[in-house]
Amino acid sequence: MQHIVLLTGAGISADSGLKTFRDAGGLWEGHRIDEVASIDGWNQDKQKVLNFYNRRREQASKAKPNEAHHSITKLEKKYRVSVITQNVDDLHERAGNSTVLHLHGLLREARSEVDETLITDIGANAINIGDFSEDGSQLRPNIVWFGEPVPNIEKASYIVAEADILMVVGTSLAVYPAASLIHYTKKSIPKYIVDPKLPEISLSDEWTHIQNKAKAGLPELVNQLIK
Ligand code: APR
């Protein structure tokens, strides 16, 4: 069975109504990224960071997977499929995509601010100041913030290295190390990018650009591949 690897980003969830970061003019709900998505921001104002993620968690829990997420489930009937996502929502899982690796964490998880291995599923619930992990420290979102290591990146690079087809959907490829994953493929495999815009980095001739929204472009590509 051929192995299809998808690297997804905010654009695939945009079609479910969740805002991308870079399309919103570099501001997330009116915040600079370092205020709400860095360890310095957390140390400066935990309440602000919790409010921000509590709002994002609520939005994500109300959003529904779209045609793009569902088309990946369809692809699994004919191919081995691995999804590597930079998204922190769980729309891939809720669409039934069976193999999903999150590079930047998950909104529905909280963790100890001291021990990154102490993770709890909190569903759509808020995290408040004074909510403690089992080690007695404050709970924080289980999100990989800017400046923090990406624990799943090595695992992701091995998955990409096994791909027979690579699909990149709805990511600006502007954030590293996630963006570097596209360089780990075997030589000369088919590569597709589904995005209304081309990324700013230059892509070789092996790439096919499907200049469309994820909810239209991905199902069309999937239909071609499962024919
Ligand atoms: N369908 C497909 N692509 C879309 C759509 C859509 N409907 N709408 C927007 N896009 C594309 C944009 O053209 C852009 O290329 O999605 C991409 C979104 O880019 P970013 O906002 O930079 O999101 P992403 O690449 O996932 O960001 C990476 O940066 O914001 C941090 O940690 C966060 O995981 C995130 C990382």
pLDDT tens digits for 139-165?
Answer: 999 999 999 999 999 999 999 999 999
- Enter the pTM of the model: 0.96
pLDDT of residue 71: 98
- For ligand 1, the distance from its centroid to the CA atom of residue 226, given in whole angstroms, is 26
pLDDT top residue among 147 and 27: 147
* Cα 172 to Cα 182: distance, rounded to the nearest angstrom: 12
Ligand 1 atom having least distance to the Cα of 23? 21
Q: Helical H runs in 16-167?
A: 33-36, 39-44, 46-62, 67-75, 91-94, 153-161
Domains and CATH numbers, the chain: 1-18+65-104+150-227 (3.40.50.1220), 21-62+110-143 (3.30.1600.10)
Of 7, 10, 3, give the one whose Cα is nearest residue 183: 7
| Res. 26: pLDDT tops 60 | no
Question: 176 CB less than 6 Å from ligand 1?
Answer: no
Mutate to test the pocket of ligand 1, among 15, 19, 21 (most ligand atoms within 8 A of CB): 21
Residue range 169-196: mean pLDDT, rounded: 96
> Taking the CA of residue 50 as centre, how many other CA atoms within 13 Å lie in the half-sphere pointing to its CB?
18
At 199, is the pLDDT very low, low, confident or very high (cuts 50, 70, 90)? confident
Of 65, 85, 59, 74, give the one whose Cα is nearest residue 16: 65
pLDDT top residue among 54 and 206: 54
Is the Cβ–Cβ distance between 149 and 104 less than 8 Å? no
* Cα 180 to Cα 26: distance, rounded to the nearest angstrom: 22
Give the three-class secondary structure for 63: coil
104 is catalytic: yes
DSSP symbols for 200-218: SS---TTEEEE-S-HHHHH
Residue range 13-37: mean pLDDT, rounded: 81
pLDDT tens digits for 32-79?
Answer: 888 999 999 999 999 999 999 999 999 999 999 999 999 999 999 999
pLDDT of residue 32: 86
pLDDT of residue 21: 73
Residue count (the chain) = 227
